[in-house]
Every structure is written in C-alpha cells, then in structure tokens.
Amino acid sequence: MSGAEVVDLANKTIWLSLLLSAPPLVVGLVVGLLVAIFQATTQIQEMTLTFVPKIFAVMVAMIFFASWMLLKLTNFTSNLILQIPDLIR
C-alpha cells in the first residue's frame, strides 16, 4: 500500500465523516439560531430553552437521516472490504 493510497483512503474517510455529520449539525445550528433570536426578542434568558429544542431537533434529524447515513456508511465499508486485496499488495 503506497502513501498515495493511504492519503486517498484518509481523504475519503474524512469526507464521509463530514458528510454524515452535516445534517444533524446544520439542523442544530438553525434551531439554535432561531432560539437565540427568540430569546433576544423576548428577553427570556432561560438556559434550558437553548438546549432542549436543539437536542430534540438533532434527535429528529438523526432519525430522519438515519437510513441515508447508514446507506452511505455501508456502501463505504463494503467498498473498503472489497478493496482489501488490492490494498495489501
């Protein structure tokens, strides 16, 4: 296994991890922004108001995107397993 193959595999792995983490992070970001705007306009400074909606929204996003995320991860893993004979040469 050459250095270029290692770098390519690491690059694919990093991009997959970024791709899989993007939907929950974006949902959490949007919900956090909306809650912050709501808190700024109403001057409610309750700490749990920031965490509970974000946790709930991220959980819903994880449930909604779970099948897509699992499909991407299983495709990557199966391609990696199929490439093992080529990688060990």
Residues 6 or more apart in contact with residue 44 via CB below 8 angstroms: 38
Q: Where are the domains of the chain?
A: 3-83
Output the tens digit of pLDDT for each of the chain's 89 residues.
Answer: 788 888 999 999 999 999 999 999 999 999 999 999 999 999 888 888 889 999 999 999 999 999 999 999 999 999 999 998 988 87
Question: Taking the model in full, what pTM does it have?
Answer: 0.81
Q: DSSP letters along 2-68, please?
A: -HHHHHHHHHHHHHHHHHHHHHHHHHHHHHHHHHHHHHHHHT---SHHHHHHHHHHHHHHHHHHHHH
